[in-house]
Amino acid sequence: MRVEEMMQHEIVTASPDMSLAEALDQMQQHCVRHLPVVSGQHLVGLLTDRDFREAMPSSATTLSLHDIAAQMETVAIETCMTSPLVTVPPEADTLEAARQLLEGKFDCLPVVVRDQLVGIVTATDFLRGFLAALKGGQPMHVRDYMQTSPLTVTPTDIVRTAYHRMRCARVRHLPVVSVGHQLIGLLTDRDIRRMQASEVPSLAAYEPREPTYTLTVQKVMTRHVVTVSGDTPVADAGQLLLKHRFGCLPVVRSHAVLEGIVTVRNLIRAYVQQHEAAS
């Protein structure tokens, strides 16, 4: 299959001089996490939800909501966007494109022809492709694809330490466990970014001197976590990931004891490996 058969053709884009406020409105209105930035007809960058969160002030800022909104109107997204980008042509093989996505740190690949944006393919698109390939085949279960013995943190760990572990291991999700390895929460890179100071100078000036990531994990983590078991069919887990737009699902057994974790990238990697084995 070629990328053009899987990619999204209707794309929401932005110009480099668009304000952060307007970009946020576009992303929320269209329910997207990636906003390609074009100048004329040429792709010049990408604003992701992570770029946006890094630009936003932390919850400890001294700015009021009104002041934050006013500041966001004055900051152009070209100061926050990611550039240069990894792109693919529409005729690229989807398996090769999936490998490129897995090797990178972003969950999308802009599709271009002579530097002109013609589409975008995301991790969600690849996940849908994987789930479609499962239909009619032998039932597969989460335990066949999950990561066993995932990296974890405790509720009393310092966020700075947890973030260091996350970056060293190149993961985006850390299950939070108590005594007996019982799952009590999930710490994600988005949770941490919400607590970090803005990288935009005009917003960072209003951050406290004491970094908020010196807080403990229990102050930052997500407490209400959707989980699955090892016996859950992969198709069901995939639908949960799509429905809730999650990046991962902790895998638990009885009494909420953590058994593993399954991520969107785990399933995309399985999609690639299955096709490589078949060929």
CB distance 216 to 225 below 8 Å: no
Asked whether this chain's domains 3-126 and 142-278 adopt the same fold, the reply is yes
**Phi first, then psi: what are they for 57, rounded to 5°?**
-70, 155
- The answer to whether 271 and 98 have CB atoms below 8 angstroms apart is yes
161, burial (CB in 10 Å: exposed 0-12, middle 13-18, buried 19+): middle
Domain 142-278 has CATH 3.10.580.10: yes
Handedness of CA 175, 183, 31, 55 (dihedral sign): negative
Residue-by-residue pLDDT tens, the chain, 279 positions: 899 999 999 999 999 999 988 998 898 899 888 999 999 889 999 998 888 777 776 665 677 777 777 878 888 999 889 888 899 999 999 999 999 999 988 899 999 998 899 999 999 999 998 888 777 667 789 998 899 999 999 999 998 889 889 888 888 899 999 989 999 999 998 888 776 655 556 555 655 545 555 789 999 899 999 999 999 999 899 999 999 989 999 999 999 999 999 999 998 988 888 777 776
Residue ranges per domain, the chain? 3-126, 142-278
pLDDT, tens digit, for every residue of 147-179? 999 999 999 999 888 988 988 888 889 999 998
Q: What is the pTM of this model?
A: 0.79
DSSP states along 170-188: T-SEEEEE-GGGBEEEEEE
User: Do 274 and 133 touch, CB atoms closer than 8 A?
Assistant: yes
* Omega before 16 within 30 of 0, i.e. cis: no
Burial of 137 (0-12, 13-18, 19+ CB in 10 A): exposed
Pairing, β 258-263 against β 147-148: antiparallel
Amino acid identity, position 1:
M
For every residue of 114-158, DSSP letters joined together read TTEEEEEEEHHHHHHHHHHHHTTS---BGGGTSEES---B-TTSB
C-alpha torsion 213→215→217→223, nearest 10: -100
Question: Residue 177 carries which side chain, given as an amino acid letter?
Answer: V
From CA 98, how far away is CA 26, in angstroms rounded? 27
pLDDT of residue 68: 75
Domain at 3-126, CATH from 3.10.580.10, 1.20.140.10, 3.10.110.10, 3.30.565.10: 3.10.580.10
Calpha distance 238→128 (Å, rounded): 8
Longest dimension (CA), the chain: 58
- Tokens 């909420």 sit on residue: 256
